[in-house]
């Protein structure tokens, strides 16, 4: 690849600096993953910039603020960190206004993610407080990264419809049930979501939804191809989901799969997938 590439989904964590309780159940990832590790795993690919995605999974906004301050320190030393998607407890509704004000005052913060995938109530995102919190993002020009499983897509569609002024970023193509070989009803729900103009889709986090040990390109590709078809070249972005990706494959394996997918796109549309859409959606500057 001889053109500018931006990875829209990179995690970094330092277990000596912050607490990540969710890592206790994932021994393969339960250590620090910092910039030197990222450099090692992405060797051979020209990652000119990336967007850091929150990874504390915290319900405590103070912990997330500590994470943001740490990543900002790193960004002051490494210009590749072009943007941050921070955690905020949006379910607080009006009470989250102060935190969003604080986040919006930090130029690197481009959006907010409040993890939904672990909520037992599939309609959690439709609770009045949460809807109000998401709607508030428009006041600050912040995007919302939606990280959900496929069975939460119907609720997300309703949330997006209620928040027309907010730009949504669907993480990991909605986490379809790839390991079970289920295309439907994910396929129909993704098409319905893509019909709403204020949603873009990250091609990321796909291998970890397949069988970590036995996945094949033939199993994974139909899901990626469908996402590209329904969202179109103007609303797709490349994401590595590193280092979570390591549970199922290497950065090189994922890159080669996405490059293979991109062969069907024009040069201009490949540039959109790998960089210019990211710059537009997350309002990235050099």
Structure token pair of residue 17: 């600096």
By DSSP bridging, strand 199-203 and strand 236-238 are parallel
Q: Average model confidence (pLDDT) for the chain?
A: 96
pTM, 2 dp: 0.97
Degrees to nearest 5, angle at CA 243 with 279 and 115? 70
By DSSP bridging, strand 143-146 and strand 168-170 are parallel
Q: Write the CA distances from 60 to 9, 56, 88, integer angstroms.
A: 22, 9, 9
Domain membership of residue 37 (yes or no) is yes
Residue-wise pLDDT for 27-83, tens only, equals 999 999 999 999 999 999 999 999 999 998 877 888 899 999 999 999 999 999 999
Structure token pair of residue 134: 């998401």
Q: Which residues of the chain have pLDDT under 70?
A: 1-3, 286
The pLDDT of residue 4 is 76
Domain membership of residue 214 (yes or no) is yes
Domain membership of residue 55 (yes or no) is yes
The pLDDT of residue 58 is 72
User: Helix 61-75 vs helix 97-104: angle between axes, to the nearest 10 degrees?
Assistant: 0
The pLDDT of residue 59 is 72
Domain membership of residue 266 (yes or no) is yes
Determine the structural domain holding residue 168 and report its residue range.
5-281
Structural domain count of the chain: 1
Q: How far apart are alpha carbons 218 and 237 in whole angstroms? A: 21
The pLDDT of residue 207 is 98
Closest by CA to 8, choosing from 259, 242, 262, 249, is 242
Q: Helix, strand or coil for residue 195?
A: coil
Closest by CA to 236, choosing from 268, 190, 277, 280, is 277
Domain membership of residue 286 (yes or no) is no
8-state DSSP, 167: P
Degrees to nearest 5, angle at CA 254 with 3 and 213? 170
Q: Report CA torsion sign: 64, 108, 53, 150.
A: positive
The answer to whether 278 and 51 have CB atoms below 8 angstroms apart is yes
At 75, which CATH number?
3.20.20.140
Residue-wise pLDDT for 190-217, tens only, equals 999 999 999 999 999 999 999 999 999 9
The answer to whether 32 and 74 have CB atoms below 8 angstroms apart is no
Provide the CB-side half-sphere exposure for 146 (13 A, CA): 30
Domain membership of residue 185 (yes or no) is yes
């Amino acid at each position: 690849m001889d053109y500018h590439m931006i990875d829209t989904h990179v995690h970094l964590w330092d277990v000596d600096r912050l607490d990540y309780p969710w890592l206790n159940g994932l021994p393969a990832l339960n250590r620090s993953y910092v910039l030197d590790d990222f450099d090692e795993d992405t060797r051979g690919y020209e990652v000119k910039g990336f967007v850091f995605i929150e990874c504390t999974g915290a319900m405590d906004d103070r912990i997330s603020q500590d994470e943001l301050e740490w990543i900002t320190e790193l960004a002051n030393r490494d210009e590749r960190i072009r943007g941050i998607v921070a955690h905020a407890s949006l379910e607080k509704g009006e009470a989250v206004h102060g935190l969003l004000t604080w986040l919006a005052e930090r130029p690197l913060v481009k959006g907010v993610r409040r993890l939904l995938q672990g909520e037992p109530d599939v309609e959690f995102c439709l609770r009045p407080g949460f809807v109000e919190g998401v709607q508030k993002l428009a006041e600050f020009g912040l995007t919302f990264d939606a990280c959900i499983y496929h069975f939460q897509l119907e609720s997300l569609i309703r949330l997006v419809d209620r928040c027309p002024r907010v730009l949504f970023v669907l993480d990991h193509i909605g986490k379809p049930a790839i390991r079970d070989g289920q295309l439907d009803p994910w396929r129909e729900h993704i098409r319905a979501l893509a019909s709403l103009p204020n949603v873009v889709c990250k091609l990321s986090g796909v291998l970890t939804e397949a069988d970590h040990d036995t996945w094949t390109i033939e199993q994974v590709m139909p899901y990626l191809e469908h996402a590209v078809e329904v969202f179109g070249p103007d609303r797709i972005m490349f994401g590595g989901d590193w280092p979570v990706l390591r549970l199922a494959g290497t950065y090189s394996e994922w890159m080669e799969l996405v490059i293979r997918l991109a062969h069907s796109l024009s040069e201009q549309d490949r540039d959109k997938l790998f960089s210019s859409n990211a710059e537009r959606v997350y309002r990235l500057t050099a």
